[in-house]
């Protein structure tokens, strides 16, 4: 049986590639003499590596980071060269190491055990993560002098800032640890700053910065305000318009009762698409700039809005979900990272 192409999706995620490229160029400029790379893990923060990677390559990005080995193939298919790609979780099994050798993608070594696995697999160029106080993943500074580390052929030595967006001395303390640690390791390049770390100044830039959230329109710190543009624009189709009488109940568990006769619209959008139930508390969609307040509970695949004051809204129309990440985070209580990476794969990107 030949399966025909599916009909057009009732969910759309518009990706502004020009804004994405402009964000990378801004972050590259703000990185001073350092080059800006790009964190593209979690399918480019939910926006899709198939569109994001070519856009960033065209803009000038030459170093990419993912978290899992399962993320490698789509990035290579999108045009990145193996040597331009690093896997942050490193090699945790012999199979990981064998895959790294076979593809030419570089692992980020995080421990003495990973260093041994990499050497046993035949090794080659790799990167090294130093834990400078986040206590999450990375080589403890006390292990830097081990012979297993000295035997590595290291391209980038890197660490990760835990609180670069906060008014705290943690970043400065991490910088001191990192400066000391890197003197004990032979490496071609050095990298510390994430998106917010770029705004901390040239002392944090080294050879390579690793922006993530800011590439996709997120604002990790006020110092970057005005530099970044929105990239993701979700839209959902109206499937049904109906009349609800006074006292009519809407949605699961009857959390909304109509205070007067209302005109409502049911849209193809729900928590399976990443629009969690927290959107119902003060959330709204827009149609040609007019507000459609969410009423009742968000369902798995549907959401109901009040369109009483938008009489021309019709079935088949698309509505916009406001997705300026700072404002959406304030509305929902979700982090900007969650807002991006929760977006489901039913959106046509």
Alpha carbons 316 and 237: distance in angstroms, whole number:
6
Q: Is 3 exposed, middle or buried (0-12, 13-18, 19+ CB in 10 A)?
A: exposed
The pLDDT value given to residue 1: 84
Q: In CATH, what is the architecture of 232-341?
A: Beta Barrel (2.40)
Residue partners of 187: CB distance under 8 A and separation at least 6: 128, 154, 155, 156, 157
Fold (topology level) of 17-223: TIM Barrel (3.20.20)
Q: What is the pLDDT of residue 161?
A: 97
Residues whose CB falls within 8 Å of the CB of residue 53, separated by 6 or more in sequence, listed in order: 40, 44, 64, 75, 78, 79, 80
Q: How far is residue 171's CA from residue 174's CA, in Å, rounded to a whole number?
A: 5
> Which are the contacts of 176, defined by CB distance < 8 A and separation ≥ 6?
none
| Catalytic sites, residue numbers | 41, 252
Instruction: Provide the residue ranges of all domains of the chain, joining segments of one domain with +.
Output: 17-223, 232-341
Residues forming a β-bridge with 143? none
* Predicted local distance difference test score (pLDDT) of residue 190: 98
Per-residue pLDDT of the chain (349 residues; tens, 9 = 90+): 899 999 999 999 999 999 999 999 999 999 999 999 999 999 999 999 999 999 999 999 999 999 999 999 999 999 999 999 999 999 999 999 999 999 999 999 999 999 999 999 999 999 999 999 999 999 999 999 999 999 999 999 999 999 999 999 999 999 999 999 999 999 999 999 999 999 999 999 999 999 999 999 999 999 999 999 999 999 999 999 999 999 999 999 999 999 999 999 999 999 999 999 999 989 999 999 999 999 999 999 999 999 999 999 999 999 999 999 999 999 999 999 999 999 999 999 9
Which ranges constitute the DSSP H helices of the chain? 17-30, 41-45, 49-59, 72-77, 94-103, 112-120, 147-150, 170-182, 195-198, 325-332, 336-341
Which residues are CB-neighbours of 133 under 8 A, at least 6 positions away? 162, 170, 173, 174, 177
Where helices occur in 138-194 by DSSP H, the ranges are 147-150, 170-182
The pTM assigned to this predicted structure is 0.95
């Amino acid at each position: 049986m030949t399966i025909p192409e599916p009909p057009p999706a009732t969910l759309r995620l518009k990706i502004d590639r020009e804004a994405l490229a402009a964000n990378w160029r801004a972050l590259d400029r703000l990185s001073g003499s350092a080059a800006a790379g790009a964190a593209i893990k979690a399918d480019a923060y939910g926006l899709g590596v198939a569109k994001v990677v070519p856009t960033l390559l065209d803009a000038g990005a030459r170093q990419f980071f993912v978290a899992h080995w399962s993320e490698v193939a789509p990035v290579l298919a999108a045009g990145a060269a193996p040597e331009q790609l690093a896997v942050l979780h490193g090699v945790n099994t012999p199979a990981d190491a064998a895959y790294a050798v076979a593809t030419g993608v570089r692992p980020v070594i995080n421990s003495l055990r990973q260093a041994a696995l990499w050497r046993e697999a035949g090794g080659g160029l790799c990167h090294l993560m130093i834990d400078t106080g986040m206590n999450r993943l990375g080589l403890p500074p006390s292990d830097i002098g081990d012979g297993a580390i000295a035997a590595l052929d290291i391209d980038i030595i890197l660490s990760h800032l835990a609180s670069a967006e906060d008014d705290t001395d943690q970043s400065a303390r991490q910088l001191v640890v990192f400066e000391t640690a890197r003197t004990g390791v032979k490496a071609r390049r050095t990298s510390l700053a994430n998106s917010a770390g770029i705004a901390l100044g040239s002392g944090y830039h080294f050879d390579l910065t690793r922006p993530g959230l800011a590439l996709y329109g997120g604002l990790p710190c006020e110092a970057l305000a005005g530099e970044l543009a929105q990239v993701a624009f979700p839209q959902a189709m109206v499937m049904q318009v109906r009349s609800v009488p006074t006292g009519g109940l809407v949605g699961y568990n009857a959390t909304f009762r109509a205070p007067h006769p209302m005109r409502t619209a049911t849209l193809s959008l729900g928590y399976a698409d990443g629009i969690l139930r927290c959107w119902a508390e003060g959330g709204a969609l827009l149609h040609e700039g007019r507000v459609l307040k969410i009423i009742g509970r968000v369902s798995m695949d549907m959401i109901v809005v009040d369109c009483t004051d938008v009489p021309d809204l019709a079935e088949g129309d698309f509505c916009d979900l406001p997705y300026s990440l700072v404002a959406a985070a304030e509305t929902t209580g979700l982090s900007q990272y969650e807002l991006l990476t929760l977006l489901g794969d039913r959106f046509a990107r």
